[in-house]
Chain A
């Protein structure tokens, strides 16, 4: 299943993108693109049509929650997993209301990301 899954990574940190990419490629997921802010994410999402998007919250230009809202508006079936260090209830609530499928608090273990993606793919 992992082999056919196309993942889009959104994070303002190149390092973080690399870490996520590495984790996922090890498991056979295909990384089809990266974006470093919400605006780029919205733009690229329309071209890429990924199966899964991982989304940071704290980013320049447009943050992850706003980007999630916009992407969900374009594609209500978008599967977005928030990956953020902001673990406060209000962010979690906002993100989930915005339509995020799951919320992973940074830093996280590799298995956590994999299990979350596997779960998201079920929906």
Chain B
């Protein structure tokens, strides 16, 4: 049960379960009539097997057990050793009903584990035993054991060249992910993890649950298998099993053979069912394969070098010739393998489309709408990863269409339309792209109204609105300022979240366009690359470096005369036809060095589009276009701004892929130079050693002639202003300066190099007076800075990598949190309270021993300002003096307030001290209660993060005696004039101790 966290997964499971159950119902009955019908038997076996398999995935033990027993009964039927009697059929139907009950329990979010299945299982097993006794196959008694063995062993994969570590975590660890991270870290010290189960993504999302105690690591290491456990010194590990490559292979083969030999029935089923000879391969394994191909190419380029060496020696001419042919051949084979692997990642888009069949049917029957779903081109294939990423945005678009776009039968009739509305999903391939079209014939979007709203919201100037083109007007729908609920509510909600949908498509290197006509309908056109792993890119040269630029980001390429480069308000601008576009020099952004100065009068420029605005990127030279496989940088380095990954060219050369959006951000000066540092520590493909290149201290050697004195800081600013009109959400930049400073210093220290601080590039003007000399150690510098008072007492800055640095990320996060205020959907709030309360109680219980603590009252609601005023009065005139322990929730405005009377505070303190075997004080010691506040606060922030996936974090608690703090907090909230306040009131009581305390969570409505 613990694994069911994703509502969407659960929904799919239930949807499938329902389909399977309705099949079972009719099939079991028809089996009674035709017991000899092998086709039905086989299909019924398969369905029971699927139910069992899915249940296992969700860890529904009773359902797995039931499914398994049903399977065994069908197996006996098939063998002919058990007769299909009325009695058995009755039992099977009862099983089906029980499964149905389990499904309903899941749907209603109640615990299905209490639903009894044992009696049915026992009954089924007795039939199976009867069948076995009838004994047509004597060896079948071992069948079940072998089957379960087979199931265990099939968890194991065989990956050539790897050793498998199976690690079991002790049940005493409440958070297994801690162990997983520790193990990852330890293993990385002596080997390379090729694949792990659970994988990195699963670990970082919150899906890694308490029940997953077994971890699998497929590693490559120089160590002998028996040495490995000694290198893993991690606490709370119960057992480690190491399977060498040979052992792994043997077990894997044995498992598949055992599977074949014992599951004779299974095999016949499979053979009959398989029209094609197909196997399922986990995508991760294909990823590993793809990486291995890349490494093959690198290894081969090593051979190429050997050949080069041979070339220079006449006596080795024959070897040179032979080697040359072989190297060529290996390159060719590698390319073929690469293509094949890429193709194997493609799956039909019906995987998404089919999800909507049921959704639309159900929606039609529930609402006063009649909707016909037309699906076309669902066999079109696309990369599995893209499919996964597309589910959310597609669902959003389809929901928009059926909820808001399509009208009710009545409305359609009134408008003279066919009463049945149509929703059409279509997909087709076009070159290396897949087009996905979602089209409805509903009411469309009133673009004029959007324009009016944009003017009202201050996004569009009134005079501009008059001359706006239809296209520009449509694009307003994607404006984040318009996509908020209040603004577009009466625009039939079509715009809600469209900016986020669009962005999520763009992350996949795709594009999204919308075509709509009032009264006629809306068409959303999504264009996606065939695969995420391969891009079509242009290779460019800048200085001594090569980069590749994804073709998807390029609008056009130009060779421009230097006469067309102008200096405007300190920024270089390019005259392009009738307009001016900002010009970016990559060598400045990345501090590239240049061994030969550039003296050309004609310069190649790549024109890219950013937020509907053109930007030019200056390069030295265009080279060829290439299809390249993207390798993520994150395995080796922390994310580098401006670089989305790397690729290996056919000759083994490593080339970095530019992230155009990131580059523009860098250009705008939002980031310090920290990210560019790591860029130039790359691994030599042959030696695997880090090649450190010292970036030049100052920007490019050649400055624009027009204005050599120009201060680059000025440059950044004015361009930022120019771009600002396109991007409305800038955070104050000066706040992060001290953090960057620290990070820079850390890196200086880690790389053992001195990095000159390039003030002009970063615009760090608020450095402390006693600015640390870079020769000082980082610690001294930090201490000095702290003493000078410039290191703010600020959590989110300190552990800044975790926090809300990125403005885009911040905005998206806040948007997610905003759903807490969704009046129509209180589920999120309820979930939060449920989880938070559970964790809070657990936390305090653990802290205070086995105390009888409970929550008497837990209310979460939205209250208006007037109510707050009343609340204030109540607090102000309350009978007792209270203490408020306040804990901010970053990055929200509000916080958690643990409020209790002085008397109760003392009681809690004494309780805690007693628990810790410490002397009980006679006066209130605040620290124990601060700790309780910390635990409570973490309980609610952790749950909020888990539910919304937004990293909110508790700040440092603060105490103010009396009511002042709370009053002040509330008054502040009132002064910020939100529409409403999320107000949570939980009352904790320690039953036997006669203590009670209030916990308030106050969050003013989130404004973005």
Evaluate whether A123 and B236 lie within 8 angstroms (CB atoms) in the complex, with A63-B799, A96-B181 already known: no
In the bound complex, residues from chain A placing their C-beta under 8 Å from that of B847 are: 106-107
Complex Cα spacing A92 to B791, Å: 24
Min distance, Cβ A105 to any Cβ of chain B, angstroms:
6
Evaluate whether A112 and B779 lie within 8 angstroms (CB atoms) in the complex, with A96-B181, A107-B846 already known: no
Complex Cα spacing A109 to B172, Å: 10
User: Which B residues lie at the A interface, using CB under 8 A?
Assistant: 172, 174-175, 177-178, 181-182, 184-185, 203-206, 208, 233-236, 742, 746, 749-750, 778-779, 782-783, 786, 791, 793, 795, 798-799, 801-802, 843, 846-847, 912, 916-918, 925, 927-928, 930-931, 934-935, 937-938, 942, 945-946, 951, 953-956
Residue of B whose beta carbon sits closest to that of A84? B938
Min distance, Cβ A34 to any Cβ of chain B, angstroms:
13
A60, B956: Cβ atoms closer than 8 Å: yes
CB-contact partner of A108 in B203, B779, B846, B954, under 8 A: B846
In the bound complex, residues from chain A placing their C-beta under 8 Å from that of B795 are: 58, 63
B954, A86: Cβ atoms closer than 8 Å: yes
User: Which A residues lie at the B interface, using CB under 8 A?
Assistant: 12-16, 18-19, 22, 26, 38-39, 42-43, 46, 57-63, 65-66, 69-70, 73-74, 85-94, 96-97, 102-103, 105-109, 112, 115-116, 118-120, 122-123
Min distance, Cβ B917 to any Cβ of chain A, angstroms:
6
B799, A65: Cβ atoms closer than 8 Å: yes
In the bound complex, residues from chain A placing their C-beta under 8 Å from that of B235 are: 102, 115-116, 118-120
Give 10 new A-B contacts, CB below 8 A, not counting A70-B779, A85-B935, A93-B204.
A12-B956, A15-B931, A22-B916, A22-B917, A22-B918, A39-B786, A61-B786, A62-B791, A86-B942, A89-B208
Q: Which of A22, A42, A62, A97 has the most CB of B within 10 A?
A: A62
Complex Cα spacing A7 to B801, Å: 29
* Secondary structure dominating the interface of A: helix
Complex Cα spacing A13 to B184, Å: 31
A58, B942: Cβ atoms closer than 8 Å: no
Min distance, Cβ A39 to any Cβ of chain B, angstroms:
5
In the bound complex, residues from chain A placing their C-beta under 8 Å from that of B928 are: 13, 15
A63, B798: Cβ atoms closer than 8 Å: yes
In the bound complex, residues from chain B placing their C-beta under 8 Å from that of A94 are: 799, 801-802
B778, A73: Cβ atoms closer than 8 Å: yes
B181, A115: Cβ atoms closer than 8 Å: no
B793, A60: Cβ atoms closer than 8 Å: yes
In the bound complex, residues from chain A placing their C-beta under 8 Å from that of B791 are: 39, 61-62
Complex Cα spacing A123 to B235, Å: 11
A66, B742: Cβ atoms closer than 8 Å: yes
In the bound complex, residues from chain B placing their C-beta under 8 Å from that of A14 are: 925, 927
Complex Cα spacing A63 to B931, Å: 16
Min distance, Cβ A67 to any Cβ of chain B, angstroms:
9
Residue of A whose beta carbon sits closest to that of B177? A89
Question: What are 10 A-B contacts with C-beta separation under 8 Å?
Answer: A14-B927, A38-B798, A42-B779, A58-B956, A59-B956, A60-B793, A62-B798, A86-B953, A89-B206, A119-B233
Min distance, Cβ A63 to any Cβ of chain B, angstroms:
4
Complex Cα spacing A43 to B787, Å: 12
In the bound complex, residues from chain B placing their C-beta under 8 Å from that of A70 are: 746, 778-779, 782
Residue of A whose beta carbon sits closest to that of B925? A15
Complex Cα spacing A122 to B234, Å: 10
In the bound complex, residues from chain B placing their C-beta under 8 Å from that of A58 are: 795, 934, 953-956
B916, A85: Cβ atoms closer than 8 Å: no
CB-contact partner of A62 in B782, B846, B930, under 8 A: B782
In the bound complex, residues from chain A placing their C-beta under 8 Å from that of B930 are: 13, 15
Residue of B whose beta carbon sits closest to that of A109? B846
A39, B942: Cβ atoms closer than 8 Å: no
Evaluate whether A62 and B786 lie within 8 angstroms (CB atoms) in the complex, with A85-B938, A90-B802 already known: yes
Complex Cα spacing A105 to B208, Å: 16
Evaluate whether A103 and B934 lie within 8 angstroms (CB atoms) in the complex, with A22-B916, A112-B172 already known: no
CB-contact partner of B927 in A15, A63, A112, A120, under 8 A: A15
A89, B203: Cβ atoms closer than 8 Å: yes
CB-contact partner of A13 in B181, B203, B927, under 8 A: B927
Min distance, Cβ A93 to any Cβ of chain B, angstroms:
5
Evaluate whether A115 and B175 lie within 8 angstroms (CB atoms) in the complex, with A42-B779, A62-B798 already known: no
In the bound complex, residues from chain A placing their C-beta under 8 Å from that of B799 are: 57, 63, 65-66, 91, 94
Evaluate whether A18 and B204 lie within 8 angstroms (CB atoms) in the complex, with A60-B793, A123-B233 already known: no
Q: Which of A19, A89, A93 has the most CB of B within 10 A?
A: A89
B934, A42: Cβ atoms closer than 8 Å: no
Q: Which of B178, B181, B847 has the most CB of A within 10 A?
A: B178
Residue of B whose beta carbon sits closest to that of A86? B938
B938, A87: Cβ atoms closer than 8 Å: yes
Residue of A whose beta carbon sits closest to that of B750? A73
Residue of A whose beta carbon sits closest to that of B207? A89
Complex Cα spacing A34 to B286, Å: 51
Residue of A whose beta carbon sits closest to that of B203? A89
In the bound complex, residues from chain A placing their C-beta under 8 Å from that of B953 are: 58, 86, 88
Question: Which 6 interchain pairs have the tightest Cβ spacing?
Answer: A119-B235, A15-B927, A85-B938, A63-B798, A15-B928, A107-B847
Min distance, Cβ A35 to any Cβ of chain B, angstroms:
13
In the bound complex, residues from chain A placing their C-beta under 8 Å from that of B182 are: 96, 102-103
Complex Cα spacing A74 to B746, Å: 11
Min distance, Cβ B653 to any Cβ of chain A, angstroms:
30
Complex Cα spacing A61 to B786, Å: 8
B934, A88: Cβ atoms closer than 8 Å: no
In the bound complex, residues from chain B placing their C-beta under 8 Å from that of A63 are: 795, 798-799
Evaluate whether A18 and B918 lie within 8 angstroms (CB atoms) in the complex, with A66-B742, A93-B204, A96-B185 already known: yes
Complex Cα spacing A60 to B203, Å: 29
Residue of A whose beta carbon sits closest to that of B185? A96
In the bound complex, residues from chain B placing their C-beta under 8 Å from that of A19 are: 916, 918
Complex Cα spacing A81 to B552, Å: 47
In the bound complex, residues from chain B placing their C-beta under 8 Å from that of A109 are: 846
Complex Cα spacing A119 to B802, Å: 28
